[in-house]
Chains A and B, each alone.
Chain A
Amino acid sequence: MSGETGTHSKGTGLRVYAFAYLLFLYAPVALLPIFAFNDSQIIAFPLSGFTDRWFGELWEAEPLHESLMNSLFVGITSSVLATLLGICAARASTRYEFPGKKPMMGFVMLPLVLPEIIVGVAMINIIVQLGMDLSLWTVILGHVLICTPFAIAILSAAFASLDRSLEEASLDLGETRMGTFLRVTLPLVMPGIVSSLLICFTISLDEFIIAFFLTGADTTLPVYIWGQLRFPGRLPSVFALGTLMLLASLLLLTLGEYFRRRSARKTGIEHTAGGLV
């Protein structure tokens, strides 16, 4: 076999592998909208006709609306808190040297690799021991814990790509430290902050295990969906819900990337300052 045919067949093999890989990865997701519009309670082929009644069912399910509002509240609150903490930590780790910096940053990043079930069990133990009531706020506590490492990773990249002399120039021109942060630092790391908010919100929105352990009377959306899975008749409307959530996350990610690119273009920063893609 000549070398040329060898590389050619190898290239074809890789292409088939890549295609199969993508199919395996995304085909189940593609099933969501298909069965959301299928006129049957049984999730199986062949399809039995088009309907939008599952979406109508969603519209009428009161507990679903509540859990959606709960999830939005938890998602927004934890992403804002995690991003605020992330700004402080990223700023400290990129600008200052202090004793114990490495182990400290290591501990902050630990939840990235810690199994969530362990975090969940540990937290519920402590919360019960402390005599606190389980509520949406305990879920937020858990979500801030797992979101903060992501926020720090994204924001560290944004802060690290910021030229230090820009802040010095601002001080040199008579601006205070606070004014410098507001007029120079913040606008320049804004793409990173938006990315961090979006990522944390997405993580919080579909997080199940910690929410399952720490939730009280009010449930979040994933916990509600899990509860619905016990009733086979509700399955199609869960698929309808999944379809809507898929659309919403695609919209959010597109929006986030649009704003990041626009600001990158405006400031002429070539590198991705903590962007998503």
Chain B
Amino acid sequence: MAAPIITLEKVEKRFGDVVALGGVSGEIRAGEFFSLLGPSGCGKTTLLRCIAGFEDPTSGAIILDGKHMEGVPANHRPTNMVFQSYAIFPHLSVAENVGYGLKKQRISRAERAQRVEEALAMVDLAGYGHRASHALSGGQRQRVALARALVMRPKVLLLDEPLSALDKKLREQMQVELRRLQRAVGITFILVTHDQEEALTMSDRIAVMFGGQIAQLDTPQNLYRRPMSRQVASFIGFMNFLDAEIRADGGHSIDLDVAALGRVEVPSSQRPGKPNGRKVSVGIRPEMLTILMTDSETAEREIEAEVVDAAYYGDMTYYDVRFPGVAEPAQISMRNTAGRRILEAGDRARVGWSSESIVVLD
């Protein structure tokens, strides 16, 4: 495990009576692609701005590369930021923008020009140095902002929702490029985003934030498969919830009675959040439920259900099915493979599931 480049110790930030950060702790490892994910107002941007030095935490400590950052202004921190608005200086050319920070450093004009050109080449803008910055497209401005930050060779690159202003196609292309760039330069990236898909596809680890707290800090796979709370489970992808009761807790495994699904025993690793009490809920993803179309198809566990609604999306069909005794329909996603039937509302369906696909939540 790599050493932490940033350690957050109970970082708290208040704006008057409003608590933006309620004591956030965690470690960000050197060289990883780290994302701060959450709905707007969850404090993710405030945390990023505290790391950058634009906001001073009310209490708590930020340790960056072994040094306490308290009282260190933004211009003396080994971090650089890509702003949401890109903040390209409109009165300067592309090269002057990228070379802006280098001018303060004691390096020769020739070396400066060379580093600017290298940085522009890194973001596929070689030869654009003499362009006026206001004549650039949104995607190009984004690249200039990236080059301007990377040319400083920061220890940590901070990205404040850098893709939110781009259209869908360009955004997906930039996601791939950002990831490639991060691997190439090996710098720690911290990305702020409200887009869970973006966070899942790009990050090594993600901190999911709600109401100024980190709800879960984990890898994308663990966040999706083993969320620690209902809040995290429903923020990342879609999750079906069923009421359940703990019958026996054997330490290594738990014996559950789940509404509609019945009795099941799962290892305690499928209860990552360690909820208190006997009344819990069980989460199961739409793709973990399978409609068994023919008699020859079988599953570890099966249950009879009724199709309430079917939405055909071409590659996928999304079903709402009702389990006996459960009011809220469950969502099931089925890939439309060759020859597979499409059911209609009112059809009876055999639904297959397995004990390892469920997660026990609060």
Contacts and interface: CB of A to CB of B under 8 A. Distances in A.
A176 interface: yes
Contact of B100 (A170, A188, A266): A170
Interface string B174-197: 000000000000000000000000
B85 A171 contact: no
Interface residues of B, number: 28
B91 interface: yes
Contact of A188 (B52, B76, B90): B90
Contacts, number: 71
A269 interface: yes
Interface string B65-90: 00000000111100111011101011
A198 to B, nearest CB: 21
A165 interface: yes
Contacts of B13: none
B73 to A, nearest CB: 7
A223 B80 CA distance: 59
B22 to A, nearest CB: 23
Contacts of B79: 172
Interface in B80-136: 80-81, 83-85, 87, 89-91, 100-101, 104-105, 132-135
Contacts of A133: none
Contacts of A183: 100
B87 A174 contact: no
B89 to A, nearest CB: 6
Contact of A171 (B73, B84, B133): B73
Interface in A164-184: 165-166, 168-176, 179, 183-184
B85 A174 contact: no
A174 B90 contact: no
Nearest to B151: A173
Given A172-B74, A173-B100, A174-B101, A267 B91 contact: yes
B226 interface: no
B80 A173 contact: yes
A268 B90 contact: yes
A173 B148 contact: yes
A187 interface: yes
Nearest to A179: B104
A166 B74 contact: no
Given A173-B152, A179-B104, A163 B74 contact: no
A171 B75 contact: yes
A191 B135 CA distance: 20
A243 to B, nearest CB: 39
A184 B76 CA distance: 18
Interface string B254-291: 00000000000000000000000000000000000000
B312 interface: no
A268 B135 contact: yes
Given A168-B54, A268-B134, A268-B135, A174 B152 contact: yes
Nearest to B100: A173
Interface string A247-258: 000000000000
Given A174-B152, A268-B132, A168 B104 contact: no
Q: Give the 5 A-B residue pairs with the shortest CB-CB distance, closest first.
A: A268-B134, A173-B101, A169-B87, A165-B87, A267-B90
Interface of A: 163, 165-166, 168-176, 179, 183-184, 187-188, 266-269
Interface of B: 52-54, 73-76, 79-81, 83-85, 87, 89-91, 100-101, 104-105, 132-135, 148-149, 152
Given A172-B74, A173-B104, A268-B134, 20 more contacts: A163-B85, A163-B87, A165-B83, A168-B87, A171-B53, A172-B53, A172-B79, A172-B80, A172-B149, A174-B101, A174-B152, A175-B75, A175-B100, A188-B91, A266-B132, A267-B90, A267-B91, A267-B134, A268-B132, A269-B90
